[in-house]
Amino acid sequence: MAPQREWLEQDFYKALGVAPGASADEIKKAYRKLARELHPDANPNDAAAEERFKLVSEAHSVLSDPAKRKEYDDTRRMFAGARGGARGGGGGFPGGFGGPSGGQEFNINDLFGDGPGGGSEANLGDLFGGLFNRGGGGSRGTQPRSRRGNDLETETTLSFKEAALGTSTTITVTSSAPCTNCHGSGAKPGTSPRVCPTCNGAGVVSRNQGAFGFSEPCTDCRGTGSRIDDPCPVCEGNGATIRTRPITVRIPPGVSNGGKIRLAGQGEAGLRGAPSGDLYVIVNVAPDRTFTRSGDDIKVTLPVSFSELVLGTTVSVPTLEGSVGLKVPPNTVDGRTLRVRGRGVAKRAGGAGDLLVTVKVAVPPTLDDAAVEALTKYAAAEKASGFDPRANWGKS
């Protein structure tokens, strides 16, 4: 069954739990929530959850693409009108408009510029042809055209070091993918689809009902424009199947939180063997207990004692790969940032950012008698030297 035929049978808005007028952000938010809840990894051996996950994935692939969403809305709106007009027995044409006065035959194509006085505007056959991604009415002999698959989006979470240094990770994607048996043609291996003789490959035909004439999808080819005499037994003639597949993603060094990795050709399968869309992997970077990031620089806070700041010292500082010795000069001010060059995140143009080390005095929770006595003597000597830490404090 062609994807557009399924549009008439599935309410994708209801599947995602959103209103027909939902914004793109609302659709994305609803999809992500349901995808996490229904993902096969979270529901092993649950066939019902897997089927819902497939429906939710298909709904998102249609509604997240503005052009495809418009086609979906137009298709369902037009066919709802067509069913209403047919039930009226000729008393009104599809869409609920009243019939013409005086019994004169009225073809709905007149409204779209293909009747008397018609110009360059598209007729209803062209409209339906657009909905089914091919040109005009059944008499035009237009060949069915293939369409590239939609781009897809998924997420992965990396540790801080994995994102900074680069890594490879495996993600699981459930989406429409080309049938591996017929390679997307929909026909049994060794055979090929043929142009539908009823609609000449247009996918739509025109017919008259009472005083009205209108176009509708070709029932012989179900709007696809081609006939498959011997369907592929695996995909049943669709050319694509919903599959859950593992994909290895190479994460380049330096990817930031929210960054996107593009995997060409790993998205939704194209229609009738057309190229697949792309897959975009959004990277979420987990926070690290030691490191933070500022552009290509890595920042770390180094605890030091008061005596180390005053007298100076050399300490071992952690980096993304191992550790490095850092010299703290004598009389270093608390809160000063020291720079270790080339120990940050790799840059696209070559080289790397720096490691920024901020020193912070750590106060001992307790002191023994000897330490208290020594500190008391130091305080007296400090006062006798005339040092006043608040000499300029509070003065503008």
309 within some domain:
yes
Classify residue 258: in a domain, yes or no: no
Please tell me what DSSP assigns to residue 201. T
pLDDT tens by residue, the chain, 396 residues = 344 555 667 789 998 999 988 999 999 889 888 888 888 777 888 888 888 888 888 888 889 888 888 888 887 777 665 455 444 444 433 333 333 344 434 343 333 334 433 333 334 444 444 444 433 333 444 444 456 788 888 999 999 999 999 999 999 888 888 888 888 888 899 998 888 888 887 778 877 666 666 777 787 776 777 888 888 898 888 788 888 889 999 999 999 999 999 999 898 887 766 788 899 999 999 999 999 999 999 999 999 999 999 999 999 999 999 999 999 999 999 999 999 999 999 888 888 999 999 999 999 999 899 999 998 998 899 888 888 888 888 776
Query: Is 22 inside any structural domain?
Result: no
222 neighbors 257 (Cβ within 8 angstroms): no
Q: Which residues have C-beta within 8 Å of that of residue 331, sequence separation ≥ 6?
A: 309, 310, 312
Q: Which domain holds residue 337?
A: 292-384
Among candidate residues 381, 340, 343, 374, the one with its CA nearest the CA of residue 357: 340
CA dist 325 and 198 (Å) reads: 80
Global pTM exceeds 0.75? no
Q: Which structure tokens are listed for 32?
A: 């992500």
Please answer whether residues 209 and 140 qualify as being in contact, where contact means their C-beta atoms are separated by less than 8 angstroms: no
Output DSSP code: residue 199. Answer: T
Domain total of the chain: 1
Residue 68's CB is within 10 A of a number of other CB atoms, namely 19
| Structure letter (DSSP) for residue 100 | P
Interatomic CA distance for residues 152 and 336, integer angstroms: 46
Encoded tokens for 196: 């539908």
Q: Is residue 299 part of a domain?
A: yes
In this structure, is residue 245 part of a structural domain? Answer: no
**How many CA atoms lie less than 13 Å away from 319 in the CB half-sphere?**
23
Q: How far apart are CA 55 and CA 57, in angstroms?
A: 5
CATH label of the domain that carries residue 344: 2.60.260.20
